[in-house]
Chains A and B, each alone.
Chain A
Amino acid sequence: MVGIVDVVLPIVSLVTFALLTLPVFRVIRKTQHKTALTLIWFSTAFLVSGAAVANLASQYYSLAAPPSPLPFLNITLTGTPLADFSSAFMIDGISIYMAIMFVAVSAVVLIYSIFYVDSSKRPSERYFAIMLILTAALMGAVFSGDLLTLFIFWEAAAAGSSFLMIYKKDPVSLNSTLKYLVMIIIASAFIVFGLSIVYSLTGSLNFWAVREALMVLADKNLLLIAFIFIVTGYAIEAAIVPFHFWLPDAYTAAPSSSAAFLSALVDQGSYYVLIRVLLFILTPPSVLNWTLMLAVMAALTMIVGNMFALIQDNVKRLIANICVADVGYNLVGITSVTALGLTGNLYFFLMGGITTALSFMAIGLISRHGFRTFDDFAGLGRKMPFVSLALVIAGLSFAGVPPFGGFMAKYLVFTAAIQANLSWLAVIGVLTSVLQVAYLLRLVNYMYAKNPKDDHVIKEPKRLLIPIFILVAAIIILGLYPQIVFNLIEPITKQLQFIPQFTP
């Protein structure tokens, strides 16, 4: 039986490690082996939280014999499920999947950050502690079982991200972080307003209580208003066009390790919230027909994101714009409301996250030498061969060229769109993918075809390359044999039969 302790253990362990990081670093700084001890400290943190997640996963999976689908598991503090107003957790296949993904990706990004943000300097321990706390908050968001808990954890993650953005403390990042915070606050205002309407309609915020109350709701006008408020709020946080403009600024101004963390974890968290709220709770299509609206938003996001990426001269900004486009591709999967689309989404979370993290990490290494624009990147393939190779692979994966992971992700969401009779969305999707190939190849052209300004080869630090190439290996292996991930996703799609009107 899964108890409340099993659920909160991953979250609590991460927070504990985060809080202990500050005193521990005082000790570490006084010793000889700073780097080694730092690595050991954070490896322990991730091993402990990883073990806690693994424990939860095994407990959860042992609940169901293979042919019968896994349950949606409600766990509350008070012990009374479906209580009107009690903070509750809910575990299902998606929660487990996202939690595993968060721990794994966060570990790789944190190892990179240790070397990227010089861990021997003073405020860096706070930076790492915040990364741990954000991971914990995201995990809380995926475990939460009512809209309020979800809101609290998710806002903690979203607002907390601003600490990562502001780390450099220069005017540009201050400016863009302020912009980000304002957007987040506006978004939470929208969400809270929407949630209050939902509460007034249904008398509960628990996922399943809300769902059941909505299914029998007679008058849907108020629900429509609530829906618009909630979707607008979450759309701002997920950077869906036309609410996307904070993202390129924020990611470009943030240090690269922060950008990698934000794109690989916080971004994916925001898609998770969209899926959970839209697909599972608020509005199965029979309650409200929102497909067309979201499809248009998805198309706009793909087009606008890629168009803006096309005209960028700053490479980091280009990748940040691809993050916007990726939101669009994810939305295609969400919009199609099919099992295949959900599979595609969940796979996209992992691959898209890894790919953006990889490119930000590579760019971080490159920009240390002052290379930022396309012109700076000229001849980089000869100056920094390994990191250039990693960047090219990330680019091809973005563009959906097999055998890299991004291909399978796009194939799944586009096929799902065709299945849901949204072929036009799939066509826009593949055409914008061709656009992606065009501007990414332009980058490759600069890196390999142009002559560098000077000829000296730059030594690439090995310890930064290791986390980069862990992600490269993940992209290739999971691209060639995606079944490893699908094995985790398959039970999730089996659960979908509990959701009415879901195309199996």
Chain B
Amino acid sequence: MYALLLVFVLPALGVPFVYMAGKKSPRAAAILVALIALANMALLFTTVPTILNSPNHEYVEPYDWIPILESEFTLFADGISVSLAIITSALIIVAALFSINYMKEKKNLPVYYSLLMLLSIGLVGVFITSNLLLFYFCWELMLVPAYFIIGGWGYREPYRAAFKFFIFTHAGAVFVLLGIGAIFMVTGTTDMFDAQAALMSVSPDLVRWILLALTAGFAVKMAVVPVHMWLPDAHSEAPSPMSALLSGVIISAGAYAILRLSLGTVFPAVAGTTFGIDFLHGLTIFGVISAFFGSLIALVETDIKRLIAYSSIAHMGYVMFGLSLFPSAPIVGTVAITAAITGTVLHLLSHAVSKGLFFLSAGAIMHQTEIRDIREMGGLAGKMPFTAVASTTAALSIAGTPPFACFISEFLIFVGAFEVINADGFFLLPTALMLVVTVLSLAYSLRYLSHVFLGQPKSEGEKKKIVDVPNYMKVAMAILVILVIVLGIYPTFFVHLINTVQFI
């Protein structure tokens, strides 16, 4: 009954307890964060039967909030949002566990874990609401704690990176706010589904601007070229558990928002017009450019975390490409989700776990060796076998190799692309280019693996005795390794959930 409300309330109530526990022992705080996230995950799972069995395939909990603005505190879950929320909770658990050893030497840990708890409200909340205003609250709640975590516990000049992160994504967010305000003004509602119906009768000129404002704002969070500049800095300077959340969840939230709001709510009003088709083609072009740009830089990047950060840009290019395969004709009645969109959402899930694992294993390497430059590493496979296995799993998944998670999702995106090519020849060239990107991603993954784990130790720093990671880190990485493999071999659970979603 109150499952989704509890998902908000539990972490909010948990924050002071996490702080108090952290005063006694940081480990207790981390475990408390993980337990609350686990409870959240269980609560999210309780909504799954309703989603699968109810006629609308959705689970809704409305509460009163601000009647004067037509805003209800509507908590909502359907196949797409619940899948993303579940994977997000999993990543929060993993990040908390990984932090126990990773952050051990740092100061102010009670504050760190409290911020992590606070962050988790925004991270999960953004997926499970259908009210635009509440969505915006969660959207910005992702930002503020993340700013302080990156700034307070990051590397090198962390506050500079955090500042860049905040300014870029907040500038994007204010455009989203303008879009939301305009939607409220022309439709008189802030519920995304009511707004979708109401927008159909609004003049297309206005809808066009709303669509562009929203999409531009979300694209910043998603870090698509040319608004990606904050990502390499923020992701590489953040502490590694935070990098995993940034790359796994925060940029996925951008993609989710484009799917749910830009394409799901606003786009139907202009679908079928020339502008609608041009809009989707525009998304394709930005997607392909991002994928190429990210992959090419990842090929030459030598900083271990920046390399992975650029690969995130490349993968958001994939996602953008997948999103642009959204049906461009006006949808009559209810239509089942297309293969491309299923693949895109699945790619968000698999990318989240794979990239989370990638960042954690990179963090493990940095933590044990205190080196960041991959040219100075080498031969680590023998010294850190567990980390080597985890890294290899992550890198191969990112490269799209079966049987790991990203293979299935990329495959589905391409299946969808071929379906669309039949109708719209424009997509032929982009699809071919994206296939090339797949090769590039294999190239940088292998380059990474060979530099770090194979060959001989190269630097003085590495000659000292290096041992494999402590246990909590192992547990954290093991959870993700299992998830990457399970998602790769048996994605049916999530595919089934995602496929229940219908476009109205």
Q: Which residues of A come within 8 Å of B, CB atoms?
A: 343, 396, 399-403, 407, 411-412, 414-415, 418-419, 423, 426-427, 430-431, 433-434, 437-438, 441-442, 445, 448-449, 481-483, 486, 489-490
Number of interface residues of B (CB under 8 A): 32
Instruction: Find out whether the CB atom of A426 lies under 8 angstroms from the CB atom of B178.
Output: yes
- B147-195 contacts to A (CB < 8 Å): 147-148, 151-152, 158-159, 163, 166-167, 170-171, 174-175, 177-178, 181-182, 184-185
Q: How far is A343 from B133 in the complex, measured between Cα atoms in Å?
A: 17
The distance from the CB of A397 to the nearest CB of chain B, in whole angstroms, is 11
Among residues of A, the one whose C-beta sits closest to the C-beta of B163 is: A441
Provide the residues of chain B in CB contact with A343, threshold 8 Å: 68
Give 23 A-B contacts (CB < 8 Å), ordered by A residue: A396-B144, A401-B140, A401-B143, A402-B141, A403-B140, A411-B181, A414-B181, A415-B181, A415-B185, A418-B178, A418-B182, A418-B185, A426-B181, A427-B178, A430-B174, A434-B171, A445-B151, A445-B163, A483-B64, A483-B66, A483-B68, A486-B67, A486-B68
Instruction: Find out whether the CB atom of A448 lies under 8 angstroms from the CB atom of B68.
Output: no
Instruction: Find out whether the CB atom of B137 lies under 8 angstroms from the CB atom of A437.
Output: no
Provide the residues of chain B in CB contact with A412, threshold 8 Å: 69
Q: How far is A472 from B309 in the complex, measured between Cα atoms in Å?
A: 37
Instruction: Find out whether the CB atom of B151 lies under 8 angstroms from the CB atom of A448.
Output: yes
Provide the residues of chain B in CB contact with A482, threshold 8 Å: 66
Q: How far is A407 from B65 in the complex, measured between Cα atoms in Å?
A: 16
The distance from the CB of B238 to the nearest CB of chain A, in whole angstroms, is 14
- B108-142 contacts to A (CB < 8 Å): 133, 136-137, 140-141
Provide the residues of chain B in CB contact with A433, threshold 8 Å: 174
Among residues of A, the one whose C-beta sits closest to the C-beta of B170 is: A437
Instruction: Find out whether the CB atom of B178 lies under 8 angstroms from the CB atom of A401.
Output: no
Q: How far is A400 from B151 in the complex, measured between Cα atoms in Å?
A: 21
Instruction: Find out whether the CB atom of A449 lies under 8 angstroms from the CB atom of B144.
Output: no
Provide the residues of chain A in CB contact with B182, threshold 8 Å: 418, 423
Q: How far is A418 from B185 in the complex, measured between Cα atoms in Å?
A: 7
Given A402-B136, A403-B141, A445 contacting B159 (CB threshold 8 A): yes
Among residues of A, the one whose C-beta sits closest to the C-beta of B133 is: A411
Instruction: Find out whether the CB atom of B178 lies under 8 angstroms from the CB atom of A414.
Output: yes
Provide the residues of chain B in CB contact with A403, threshold 8 Å: 137, 140-141
Q: Which residues of B come within 8 Å of A, CB atoms?
A: 64-69, 133, 136-137, 140-141, 143-144, 147-148, 151-152, 158-159, 163, 166-167, 170-171, 174-175, 177-178, 181-182, 184-185
Among residues of B, the one whose C-beta sits closest to the C-beta of A339 is: B68
Given contact pairs A402-B141, A481-B65, a sample of 9 additional A-B residue pairs in the complex whose CB atoms are under 8 Å apart? A399-B170, A403-B137, A403-B141, A411-B133, A415-B185, A426-B178, A434-B170, A437-B167, A437-B170
Q: How far is A447 from B231 in the complex, measured between Cα atoms in Å?
A: 24
Provide the residues of chain A in CB contact with B133, threshold 8 Å: 411
Provide the residues of chain B in CB contact with A441, threshold 8 Å: 147, 163, 166-167
* Chain B residues touching A, majority SS: helix
Q: How far is A412 from B69 in the complex, measured between Cα atoms in Å?
A: 9
Instruction: Pick from B148, B159, B181: contact of A418, CB below 8 A.
Output: B181
Instruction: Find out whether the CB atom of B68 lies under 8 angstroms from the CB atom of A434.
Output: no
Instruction: Give the top 4 A-B pairs by smallest Cβ distance, nearest first.
Output: A449-B159, A430-B174, A415-B181, A402-B137
Instruction: Find out whether the CB atom of B144 lies under 8 angstroms from the CB atom of A401.
Output: yes
The distance from the CB of A277 to the nearest CB of chain B, in whole angstroms, is 26
Q: How far is A427 from B147 in the complex, measured between Cα atoms in Å?
A: 25
Instruction: Find out whether the CB atom of A414 lies under 8 angstroms from the CB atom of B66.
Output: no
The distance from the CB of B159 to the nearest CB of chain A, in whole angstroms, is 4
Q: How far is A434 from B170 in the complex, measured between Cα atoms in Å?
A: 7
Q: How far is A490 from B144 in the complex, measured between Cα atoms in Å?
A: 31
Provide the residues of chain B in CB contact with A411, threshold 8 Å: 133, 177, 181
Q: How far is A399 from B167 in the complex, measured between Cα atoms in Å?
A: 11
Among residues of B, the one whose C-beta sits closest to the C-beta of A401 is: B140
Given A430-B175, A437-B170, A490 contacting B68 (CB threshold 8 A): yes
Given A415-B185, A483-B67, A490-B68, A430 contacting B141 (CB threshold 8 A): no
Q: How far is A187 from B370 in the complex, measured between Cα atoms in Å?
A: 66
Provide the residues of chain B in CB contact with A437, threshold 8 Å: 166-167, 170
Instruction: Find out whether the CB atom of B185 lies under 8 angstroms from the CB atom of A419.
Output: yes
Of B65, B67, B158, B177, most buried by chain A (CB within 10 Å of CB) is B177
Q: How far is A434 from B171 in the complex, measured between Cα atoms in Å?
A: 6
The distance from the CB of B423 to the nearest CB of chain A, in whole angstroms, is 36
Instruction: Find out whether the CB atom of A449 lies under 8 angstroms from the CB atom of B178.
Output: no
The distance from the CB of A97 to the nearest CB of chain B, in whole angstroms, is 14
Instruction: Pick from A414, A442, A448, A483: contact of B177, CB below 8 A.
Output: A414
Provide the residues of chain A in CB contact with B170, threshold 8 Å: 399, 401, 434, 437
Of B64, B159, B185, most buried by chain A (CB within 10 Å of CB) is B185
Instruction: Find out whether the CB atom of B174 lies under 8 angstroms from the CB atom of A434.
Output: yes
Q: How far is A449 from B156 in the complex, measured between Cα atoms in Å?
A: 11
Q: How far is A433 from B178 in the complex, measured between Cα atoms in Å?
A: 12
Provide the residues of chain B in CB contact with A489, threshold 8 Å: 68
Provide the residues of chain B in CB contact with A481, threshold 8 Å: 65-66
Q: How far is A423 from B210 in the complex, measured between Cα atoms in Å?
A: 12
Instruction: Find out whether the CB atom of A431 lies under 8 angstroms from the CB atom of B174.
Output: yes
Q: How far is A431 from B171 in the complex, measured between Cα atoms in Å?
A: 8
Among residues of A, the one whose C-beta sits closest to the C-beta of B181 is: A415
Provide the residues of chain B in CB contact with A401, threshold 8 Å: 140, 143-144, 170
Q: How far is A414 from B137 in the complex, measured between Cα atoms in Å?
A: 16
